[in-house]
Chain A
């Protein structure tokens, strides 16, 4: 039985190559007003993988899901233009959005995956603005589903998924049963450009709207951000003439 539907869970992040990210004057966070946002690059890779699996006829339907304010629908539309079949926008705004972290998002994704009977949930491995790398893992734990994280290769084999994972020591290959959660790493694929005909088709695809409360999820955060600071300014280096000088300096400042 081939898996019916795959959920791709998207995150909207601050644009990675934006020149200046500033810390708010009250050190409570980073300035996001007026900063360009776009789909998290790892989520783009996740969308691409899901669409490829559908093109290879391993899965029937790809659903793009995202949590956040209205802005997030643009991200969902881009995913639709890349080939997803329909979208779900879970509305979270204001204070709830500012406090929203991996646990709340994972609860939402888990509830949706159960409700819609997804067979695969694919996410980007981490968001490039907070670098948490937690949502996928938490979603799997809440669902009690197996997980294949840091995926650089995904192959569906009957009721199982073979995942090649990028780990510190090299590559690890695992086989997990479906339903399962996967998180996409950089080398999994190269995301396609949305084609013009697909952008036109995306117009007709549906994006359903709901709130966390509809899924019975409480958005209360167990994490309190105390302070956000810029990294310390890099100090100038010192040039040395010989290796002996280098060793002497390292010994002098206690490094070795």
Chain B
């Protein structure tokens, strides 16, 4: 039995691969099991309804909060579960396997909202802006993208000017996940236009708040149980103490937050991919054609094998990135690789799962079509696949320089 103590540095990925029966440390296995049980019993049965009716899973988010899943890395003193990023990755994967939308809510709250406050906030800010968001009663969101810039994050046109003891924010943020259900946001605005991306700062704004309004809910292809909308700031006033980190460090905060967030989204993609694979493999056992279960046909077998390899290799990349982060080693390249591999695995598995199911894959009676639709966004948000490739290439070339 592995002595998986979370206070020890992680065993190398090589060790994990060589001990398939031992797999993960015991605490991680237990945590994974409890999340899996919850996803199977509470999320799986309602995921189709949440998707069809675009319903935010408020009760489930509260229950997950009570389990500690909404604030996994947050220290116990602040109300969190006090676990590591590998545990977080496992949790998001299992939750996403039950419901891709719920997995997204969990990931955004943990990585994009709590993440930067935990890393860059003052003790007072942590108590005010993290603790109430650990229970599932409140969720947060992250507002970086604008109608005029997504990948081009350095060109933030949302402005913040100081007026006495207040910051006054003006501008529009786009594509904000959790917007209609959030009670606070981490938002990025330019405080010094002349400094370009070094003139962006991060702010904490409660929701609702005078001067902050929400655009219409986007009608999305997938992850429909989450709300996505514009945040519109019109002379939105917040106290000076609501700046997160130092003036001008906003871009750095955003980039570092996204590095970690990528592990979360990779995990969400893994969950969706696994769900698609589970659906196809189960169907291959049951559906008969040409006198036998279709799992006997090589055409189907090759698809299942390719899906399994795509998921498992993306999973190991994701675990490696998480373990590097936990060991406080650089993980930017690995996180980008994980997000790229996992999101492409998710779209691949979603696609092939429908193919294995044939006509049944095209109708809402089976979850394959929902996995296909849910998977698609993972190649876009928190850094498009194209941006991931640039990040990876940038890191690689640095390693090979001189």
Asked if residues A196 and B72 are in contact (CB atoms below 8 Å), the reply is yes
Query: Which of B30, B76, B83 is close to A194, meaning CB atoms less than 8 Å apart?
Result: B30
Query: With A194-B34, A199-B31, A199-B34 given, is the CB distance from A73 to B68 under 8 Å?
Result: no
Q: Taking the complex as formed, is B67 at the interface, i.e. its CB lies under 8 A from any CB of chain A?
A: yes
Asked if residues B81 and A197 are in contact (CB atoms below 8 Å), the reply is yes
> Within the assembled complex, what's the spacing in Å between the Cα atoms of A193 and B40?
12
Q: B127 CB to closest chain A CB, in angstroms?
A: 18
Query: Which of A78, A195, A203 is close to B68, meaning CB atoms less than 8 Å apart?
Result: A195
Query: With A70-B1, A203-B5 given, is the CB distance from A197 to B68 under 8 Å?
Result: yes
B33 neighbours in A (Cβ, 8 Å): 78
Q: Taking the complex as formed, is A235 at the interface, i.e. its CB lies under 8 A from any CB of chain B?
A: no
Q: Which of B60-99 contact A (CB under 8 A)?
A: 63, 66-69, 72, 76, 81-83, 87, 91
Q: Taking the complex as formed, is A77 at the interface, i.e. its CB lies under 8 A from any CB of chain B?
A: yes
Asked if residues A77 and B37 are in contact (CB atoms below 8 Å), the reply is no
B72 neighbours in A (Cβ, 8 Å): 196
Query: With A70-B1, A196-B87, A200-B81 given, is the CB distance from A77 to B30 under 8 Å?
Result: yes
Q: A38 CB to closest chain B CB, in angstroms?
A: 9
Q: Taking the complex as formed, is A81 at the interface, i.e. its CB lies under 8 A from any CB of chain B?
A: yes
> Within the assembled complex, what's the spacing in Å between the Cα atoms of A197 and B72?
9
Asked if residues B69 and A73 are in contact (CB atoms below 8 Å), the reply is no
Asked if residues A203 and B37 are in contact (CB atoms below 8 Å), the reply is no
Query: With A77-B26, A81-B30, A203-B5 given, is the CB distance from A196 to B68 under 8 Å?
Result: yes
Q: Taking the complex as formed, is B120 at the interface, i.e. its CB lies under 8 A from any CB of chain A?
A: no
Q: Which of B20-51 contact A (CB under 8 A)?
A: 26-27, 30-31, 33-34, 37-38
Asked if residues B1 and A199 are in contact (CB atoms below 8 Å), the reply is no
> Within the assembled complex, what's the spacing in Å between the Cα atoms of A195 and B67?
4
Q: B390 CB to closest chain A CB, in angstroms?
A: 35
A47 neighbours in B (Cβ, 8 Å): none
Interface string of A67-94 (1 = CB under 8 A from B): 0001001100110010000000000000
Query: With A77-B26, A203-B5, A203-B27 given, is the CB distance from A196 to B81 under 8 Å?
Result: yes
B5 neighbours in A (Cβ, 8 Å): 203
Question: What total of A-B pairs shows CB separation below 8 Å?
Answer: 51
> Within the assembled complex, what's the spacing in Å between the Cα atoms of A81 and B34?
10
Q: B84 CB to closest chain A CB, in angstroms?
A: 10
Identify the closest chain B residue to A78 (Cβ): B30
Range of interface residues on A (Cβ < 8 Å): 10 to 19
> Within the assembled complex, what's the spacing in Å between the Cα atoms of A240 and B318?
60
A12 neighbours in B (Cβ, 8 Å): none
A203 neighbours in B (Cβ, 8 Å): 5-6, 27
> Within the assembled complex, what's the spacing in Å between the Cα atoms of A199 and B26?
10
**Residue among B5, B31, B63 facing the most chain A CB atoms (10 A cut-off):** B31
Q: B145 CB to closest chain A CB, in angstroms?
A: 31
Interface string of A179-206 (1 = CB under 8 A from B): 0000000000000011111011011000
> Within the assembled complex, what's the spacing in Å between the Cα atoms of A196 and B30?
9
> Within the assembled complex, what's the spacing in Å between the Cα atoms of A203 and B82?
13
A194 neighbours in B (Cβ, 8 Å): 30, 34, 67
A196 neighbours in B (Cβ, 8 Å): 31, 34, 67-69, 72, 81, 83, 87, 91
Interface string of B227-247 (1 = CB under 8 A from A): 000000000000000000000
Identify the closest chain A residue to B30 (Cβ): A199
Asked if residues A193 and B37 are in contact (CB atoms below 8 Å), the reply is yes
**Residue among A74, A78, A194, A199 facing the most chain B CB atoms (10 A cut-off):** A199
B31 neighbours in A (Cβ, 8 Å): 196, 199
Query: Which of A73, A74, A200, A202 is close to B83, meaning CB atoms less than 8 Å apart?
Result: A200
> Within the assembled complex, what's the spacing in Å between the Cα atoms of A194 and B34?
6
**Residue among A70, A81, A200 facing the most chain B CB atoms (10 A cut-off):** A200
B27 neighbours in A (Cβ, 8 Å): 199-200, 202-203
Query: With A73-B1, A200-B81, A200-B83 given, is the CB distance from A195 to B30 under 8 Å?
Result: no
B38 neighbours in A (Cβ, 8 Å): 193
B30 neighbours in A (Cβ, 8 Å): 77-78, 81, 194, 199, 202
Query: With A73-B1, A77-B26 given, is the CB distance from A197 to B76 under 8 Å?
Result: yes
B68 neighbours in A (Cβ, 8 Å): 195-197
B63 neighbours in A (Cβ, 8 Å): 193
A81 neighbours in B (Cβ, 8 Å): 30, 34
B67 neighbours in A (Cβ, 8 Å): 193-196
B91 neighbours in A (Cβ, 8 Å): 196
Question: CB within 8 Å of B: which residues of A?
Answer: 70, 73-74, 77-78, 81, 193-197, 199-200, 202-203
27 residue pairs A–B, Cβ–Cβ below 8 Å: A78-B33, A81-B34, A193-B37, A193-B67, A195-B66, A195-B67, A195-B68, A195-B81, A196-B31, A196-B34, A196-B68, A196-B69, A196-B81, A196-B83, A196-B91, A197-B68, A197-B81, A199-B31, A199-B34, A200-B27, A200-B76, A200-B81, A200-B82, A202-B27, A202-B30, A203-B6, A203-B27
Closest 7 CB pairs of A and B: A196-B68, A196-B81, A195-B67, A194-B34, A199-B30, A197-B68, A195-B68
Known: A196-B87, A200-B83. 4 other contacts (CB 8 A): A194-B34, A195-B67, A196-B69, A199-B34
Question: CB within 8 Å of A: which residues of B?
Answer: 1, 5-6, 26-27, 30-31, 33-34, 37-38, 63, 66-69, 72, 76, 81-83, 87, 91
